Structures are given as structure tokens and as C-alpha cells.
Amino acid sequence: MQVRHRYRIYPTLGQQQSLARAFGCARVVYNDCLRIRDAAHTAGEKISDTEVQRRVITLGKQAPEREWLGDVASVALVQACQDARRAYRNWFDSLSGKRRRRKVGHPRFRRRHQRQSIRLTRNGFALHGQRLYVAKVGDITVEWSRDLPSMPSSVTVIKEADGRYYASFVVEREASPLPACEREIGIDLGLASLAVTSDGEVIGNPRFLRARERKLARTQRALSRKQSGSANRARARRQVAVVHRKIRETRLDHAHKTALWLVRDNQAVYAEDLAVSGLARTPLAKSVHDAGWTQLLRLVEEKAARYGRTFHKIGRFEPTSQVCSACGAKDGPKPLHVREWTCAACGTRHDRDHNAAKNVLALGRRESLNVCGGGVRPGRILVAAGEAGTHRSAT
């Protein structure tokens, strides 16, 4: 299966300048692609992927105002075109309902002050001993916090908004199944905590997260008071980015540990699909919890595939918090503040989330039996996307 491994890298000042140029060009190409596709979409004309690429890169290099596109590795520009194509397609599929997963909006234009990146395939990078060679940039020092399991097929070079540089490699990794075990578990994604399991275990949010979120709000307020274009504003922006990074790292670390614990101790893990869950539909839940849940489920899926476990998402919306897990009676909707309730049919007293997790387990078992006629599917192979497996991962 394919996974990502991320390492911190330390480009020299000169290399930072070359990278800045490459980031800039990739950003311009990406945005040009979106504009051309938008224009074609508005005019109601169909435009092929090769035509978009020809107009943006080939014709772009000939135009005096885009001449500098020739200064950077063309593989990075081609990849930027493909990124734009994928973002556009996701949006389209989402509009037409072809995409079953969460709705995505129109792709956003890339901006200078955000995270910058270029993606390179094998003809744009190489490993020179301990260093990472990037075309038209040079040999960059890498902090090899863990070994690469195989020769990477591609690399994304990233500059985060806080100024740190990373290389994220896509590598092939052998699955290493754990000995089979009997236990299965259902998890209910919660508001007060990150999740509750069908065993009644409460998985809290990471420690310090609240304090850091308050700090983030404070630095963001400070940023908004700074004059645009000033040195103070640039410094404030960096401070916000640093707090963001700390929150991200705290969350990711916690999610890795939680996912590993769930997958190691259970043969099958069942959860609600966020795209169809009732909770995720409320605007409040979306803004506050979505990121943490998505990350946790992605890591559980990834680790299940790696360790030969099953991860199954319940395929359709079920009112898991309304049904009594003891007798199956449907007790009717309950406002979010109701944490405990008693089943009118059988008199069992329920903790809201624990009961929901038990229902998730039962539903998941039933669905996975239906899907494969008795057996449990082995962990699905997946291509990890996004931030999977940074150097501090607990995989």
C-alpha cells in the first residue's frame, strides 16, 4: 500500500530562493488552470485537460508576462495542472452527486501567504546520498527522522505558513498483519469528547488543545489589528502560523495514538460515515469537530489496512442516538444536551454516546456480514492523502 512519510528539510538561503520561485510558478499555474476552466464552464464549452495544460504552460512560457515559468522544473508545473484538474473534478463530482463523500466547494485560488508546495515525480527529484535533490534547486539537507521503507515515487516539497520546510514522500509499504483477535468495537464520534467506544471508554480531546485554541484566538485578534503590508503584520502572521502548527501537531499525535490503540486491540472497528452522520450535518459540529474526526477516521483506516484489521464505515444514515441498544426500540429524537436517557420500552438507563457506540457496533457487524456473506473483509488498501504519517507518527 502507498503511504506518506514526511521529513523536515533545511534548504540553504539560495535554495530557499529557488524554491520560492518554484512555489510561485506552481501557484500561478494552478490559479491559471482554475481561471481557464472557470471561463470554459461559464461559456458552456468543454475543454480537454491537455488543452488547459497547453494554454497555461506551453503558451504561458511564450508570453512575456509569464516568461519566468521557464526558470523552474516543468514537472512541478505539470503537477500543479494536475492538482487543479483533480480539485476541479472533485467539485464537479460533488455537484453532480457522483462523489459519495463529503461535499466539496469550488477549488480555492492559492495565495502567497499560505502554505506553499510543489509536487514532483521521479524525473523531478532524486536521493543523493543523505540529501534530496530537487530539479533546478539542488541538494537539500533532510532530517531523516525514520527510514524510508522503499524508493519514493513522488515527493511534495512544502513550506508551511510558519516558515518551516518539509518533504513528504509517497512510498510503498508492505502490510504487516497482526495476529488475529476476537474483539470488535464501535465508535461514536462525540461533541464533548472526541469519541466514545462501545465498551464505554471515553476518548477525550488532546490535553492542552483548549489552551492552545484560546491562544490561537488571541494571536488572530492581534493579527487583525496590524496594518496591512507592515513588518509587524508579517510577524503576527507568522505567530498565528506557529500556534496553528502546534495545534495541528498535538491533534495529529493524539489521533495517531488513538487510532493505533483501536486497531491493535480490535479485529474490526466500526464508525459512522461522517458524510452521512446526523451530527456532522449541524453547522456547529462541522466547524468545531470535523477536522479532528476526519483525521481520526483516516488514520484508523490507514492502520487497519496496515495491520490486517477491518475498518468499516456505516453506509447510510442511522439514528444511532435514538435507538435503545438493549431492546432495539426507537425512542425518538433527543436534543444534544440530553446526555442520559431511559428507554421507555425496557427501562434501561443509557449514556447517550455509549449507547450510540453500541448501536454502531451492531450495525457495522450486520453490514459487514451482508457485504461479504459471512466473512469479514480484510483491511482495504488505500492511498493515504494529506498529512498521513509525519515524522512524529506513532505507526
- Residues that are catalytic: 188, 272, 353
In the three-class reduction of DSSP (H, G, I as helix; E, B as strand; rest coil), residue 128 is classed as strand
* Residue 277 CB-density burial (10 A; 0-12 exposed, 13-18 middle, 19+ buried): buried
Task: Give the C-alpha separation, 195 to 32, whole Å.
Answer: 42
Task: Give the C-alpha separation, 23 to 110, whole Å.
Answer: 10
Contact call for residue 3 and Zn ion (CB under 5 A): no
| Smallest gap from residue 355 Cβ to Zn ion (A) | 10
Interface residue with Zn ion, options 291, 326, 376, 382 (CB under 5 A): 326
Contact call for residue 346 and Zn ion (CB under 5 A): yes
The angle at the Cα of 201, spanning 198 to 202, to the nearest 5 degrees, equals: 115
The stretch near Zn ion (CB under 5 A) out of 17-25, 64-72, 251-259, 325-333 is 325-333
Among candidates 31, 135, 153, which has minimal Cα distance to 81?
A: 31
Site string for Zn ion, 273-312 (x = CB under 5 A): ----------------------------------------
Contact call for residue 334 and Zn ion (CB under 5 A): no
**Cβ(101)–Cβ(150) under 8 Å?**
no
Contact call for residue 338 and Zn ion (CB under 5 A): no
Task: Give the C-alpha separation, 331 to 169, whole Å.
Answer: 50
| Smallest gap from residue 331 Cβ to Zn ion (A) | 7
Task: Give the C-alpha separation, 197 to 319, whole Å.
Answer: 17
Among residues 117 and 322, whose Cβ is nearest to Zn ion? 322
Among residues 171 and 343, whose Cβ is nearest to Zn ion? 343
Contacts of 355 by beta carbon, 8 Å cutoff, 6+ apart: 321, 324, 325
| Smallest gap from residue 323 Cβ to Zn ion (A) | 9
Residue 135 grid coordinates: 530539479
Contact call for residue 181 and Zn ion (CB under 5 A): no
The stretch near Zn ion (CB under 5 A) out of 121-129, 205-213, 345-353, 372-380 is 345-353
| Smallest gap from residue 120 Cβ to Zn ion (A) | 58
| Smallest gap from residue 359 Cβ to Zn ion (A) | 12
Among residues 15 and 320, whose Cβ is nearest to Zn ion? 320
Interface residue with Zn ion, options 327, 336, 381, 385 (CB under 5 A): 327
Among residues 288 and 344, whose Cβ is nearest to Zn ion? 344
Interface residue with Zn ion, options 345, 369, 371, 372 (CB under 5 A): 345
Task: Give the C-alpha separation, 269 to 149, whole Å.
Answer: 27
Contact call for residue 343 and Zn ion (CB under 5 A): yes
| Smallest gap from residue 347 Cβ to Zn ion (A) | 7
Contacts of 41 by beta carbon, 8 Å cutoff, 6+ apart: none
Among residues 220 and 348, whose Cβ is nearest to Zn ion? 348
| Smallest gap from residue 349 Cβ to Zn ion (A) | 10
Contact call for residue 324 and Zn ion (CB under 5 A): yes
Task: Give the C-alpha separation, 86 to 30, whole Å.
Answer: 11
Give the residue carrying C-alpha cell 492542552. 208
**Cβ(292)–Cβ(194) under 8 Å?**
yes
The stretch near Zn ion (CB under 5 A) out of 77-85, 233-241, 282-290, 316-324 is 316-324
Give the residue carrying C-alpha cell 425496557. 346
Among residues 277 and 359, whose Cβ is nearest to Zn ion? 359
Residue 154 grid coordinates: 513522488
Among candidates 217, 212, 185, 216, which has minimal Cα distance to 201?
A: 185
User: Where on the chain is the footprint of Zn ion (CB under 5 A)?
Assistant: 324, 326-327, 329, 343, 345-346, 348
